[in-house]
A and B are shown apart, each in its own frame.
Chain A
């Protein structure tokens, strides 16, 4: 018998996935009194997809702060420090054998193949992206077609630029965020194409990612053909009729070398399936009761594995509850109830003319300036009026980008305070010239830039 085969350990709670949901679930379980908590993550570090989401907009509910994805991940991970939670990275769950009082989780990593016994399991496996294959876009199969998440990983983590002339299919949030990101890194985004009459993502992203950079969006249109023998050469777009069928005669060609697909997220539930947990046939999400418990006793689920959520903050909240409930389950105690209404109420689709969506908190107030009274309306607090005033007169954004580390990796960075939005392209160009030597602490100033008016401190948004 070799070491991998025989090692069996006992845990109270085993959490699959160390993204925002999983990190919070481990915390929730430990705080509720679980003795032994194990967090299993397939990537080489915790944080999940947050690590590649270098833009801001995270943490406004949970930490009352505008954080970037990596900062949010770091904060969530820091909360676990000294709590005695074990974290296994680079570790894939192959399957879960669900049994009456104990579940056996088979994991594989460079350390070997192990069978781990645990009283409860929390599935925090997140989601994956819908692909070109799944939506069967006609055309050839050239290089240059990527999903938005892959594009985000390439640009923000791997230091790889996918292309220079880009069309984005689908107006989900990741797609719009990548439209802005690619533009700031010097690509030209020719168009965003959306099959529905309204953009799919948040209004604030339509405004801050597309409008800010004059990126055209074609709603009620589809990509009807992908053209290019080796590398992508163009896409053909067509208007859609009410039955979502392309209207003949409306075809037009857009030359491009890159097509980025942001056509939906699907709960990632292969691991859940090995356990035999019931999934929603339509969404592929894990079905749970109001306590976040799945069809199998002692197996819980949270976050995008259950249902795609708009904000990481709510994923964390839900994860924390799943962790607490797992412990309550073990003790036969009463479990907390998740309020399904507890999700983002932020506006989606086209922003209304003259209306500013306040992004300071998830309430997302729709604030309008009344010319007659000279007052702002629709804001539930004073900060909403201040925000709208600034948006109307001198809009500001947090600069979020990356700088090169001396070892070739990319370090996510942000400006210490919001800067004039017109200055962003220029500031991103300036950061491209910089090389920073690791190690770098999160929050450490890595450089100071000139935006023409004042000095802008650029701080590390991750620890590397």
Chain B
């Protein structure tokens, strides 16, 4: 049995943030993740927005952590070399009821401590986001966009550099008590992990994990949101995220348009309660609706700009009949000492992830003395992104390493060396999606038509993988059926 001071279950944004925060201290930490890589769940399937915090009820943990997270996000992304862009955000009103709603949002945001919120007229809206319809809106200058995959990857890599151990493909199947002061966590592979503190960051499975550990049985209601991804040709159409004014309904922010740091606008999400926590299907009625709603916000959008779709699932504590939001649960369970639960971390969970991690650190600090490491490494450097460099820099780089001159992904201009950097990631995640999220290959308009076979060729001939060993995501998602001959 492996022993740690702390076991964190889940390597999404919250789990990775907790791991990174706790790695500042002299603690032995292990992260258990059921998927083969970080960000395999909710954290990799959202709008990629750093929220300002005006959507949340004043006094709630959601509001507090979101505002705090927003204020520190730019510095955090700078430290960890994660794509981040402070775009601002526009909420659009189509009628007087919407304007009334926005006045409420503004007041709420100010109560939460959001900075710079203001109502804007149709004229200023045209300057802020040309081509957007509506009679007026609310502008939030502090809202930003970021890359959620690279955020999780960066946090995890930095935690790893600071001594945290990661165990992927390690689904937790049971949790027992070792004594009054410790847990034994068993994984599907048959491994056992002993720990004094158990941090439950298991997202959609966090209710089940809490129950397994002897804590309360939280009921989570999966609420699916579907998205479309647009071709980069549409990027110029939208300088900042544009949302409709909030209307009463189930807890979502309404179908919105969001530019991403990679240059592809995303449309969505819908909000629909579903029965299974892993039903990531996109459905025809919702897809038709998404397009129509996006077109209402930005008429310049065309059907042929769509290059992909995906769905994410919110882990909602609010049942369908109640709707709206229930606050995050972040606490050590009184009846189950040593179990720290983070439950119902839906939007704005990623924005709030680092403040949530600091909250966890304070909870632990109240239990035991935490000693800071002298050699904590705060900064993490991302591999080079060829497409972001100037031509002079590109030329220089190719001189240093000719593989920077070999384009593998033609849509996103990803070079062979970048694919290699992605394949050789420190977590040993070699799935196609692990390469995709690190190097951004296969994400363009050809959906991997050009680069997929070239990446597969590298995996087989340069990394010795058999075709049948190559997976899209975790085990079970094998891409191929072996060799032809």
- Which residues in A have some Cβ–Cβ distance to B below 8 Å? 2-5, 42, 90, 92, 94, 106, 108-113, 128-129, 131-134, 136, 138-144, 147, 149-150, 153-155, 157-164, 185, 224-226, 229-231, 246, 257, 270, 402-404, 408, 410, 432
Contact = CB atoms under 8 A, between A and B. Distances in A.
Nearest to A224: B284
Interface of B: 228-229, 278-284, 287, 304, 306-310, 391-392, 394-396, 398-399, 402-403, 405-407, 410, 413, 445-450, 452-453, 456-457, 460-461, 467, 471-485
B399 A3 contact: yes
Contact of A113 (B229, B394, B413, B457): B394
A150 B452 contact: yes
Contacts of B484: 155, 159-161, 185, 402, 410
Given A134-B306, A136-B287, A160-B456, A142 B472 contact: yes
A4 B481 contact: no
Contacts of A154: 453, 456, 480
23 contacts: A3-B399, A4-B399, A5-B392, A5-B395, A42-B410, A112-B398, A113-B395, A128-B450, A132-B308, A133-B309, A134-B447, A136-B306, A143-B473, A143-B479, A147-B447, A150-B452, A154-B456, A157-B453, A160-B460, A161-B482, A230-B474, A402-B485, A432-B485
A270 B402 CA distance: 24
Nearest to B472: A143
B81 to A, nearest CB: 24
B453 A136 contact: no
Given A92-B407, A147-B449, A161-B481, A229 B306 contact: no
A161 B483 contact: yes
Given A4-B395, A128-B445, A159-B467, 12 more contacts: A4-B399, A110-B403, A133-B308, A134-B307, A138-B284, A139-B281, A140-B280, A150-B448, A154-B456, A161-B481, A162-B479, A402-B485
A160 B399 contact: no
Q: Is the interface of B mostly helix, strand, loop or mixed?
A: mixed
A167 to B, nearest CB: 15
A281 to B, nearest CB: 9
A208 B294 CA distance: 45
Contacts of B309: 133, 136
Nearest to A160: B467
B420 to A, nearest CB: 13
B399 A133 contact: no
A106 B398 CA distance: 14
B163 to A, nearest CB: 32
Contacts of A5: 391-392, 395
A139 B280 CA distance: 8
A141 B436 CA distance: 14
B304 A134 contact: yes
A108 B407 CA distance: 8
Contacts of A230: 472-477
B287 A92 contact: no
A361 to B, nearest CB: 32
A129 B450 CA distance: 10
Contacts of B406: 90, 109-110
B281 A108 contact: no
Nearest to B308: A133
Contacts of A106: 391
Contacts of B394: 108, 113
A131 B115 CA distance: 43
Given A112-B398, A133-B307, A141-B310, A160 B449 contact: no
B471 A143 contact: yes
B454 to A, nearest CB: 9
A161 B479 CA distance: 9
Contacts of A131: 307-308, 445-447, 449
Contact of A2 (B278, B279, B396, B449): B396
B391 A113 contact: yes
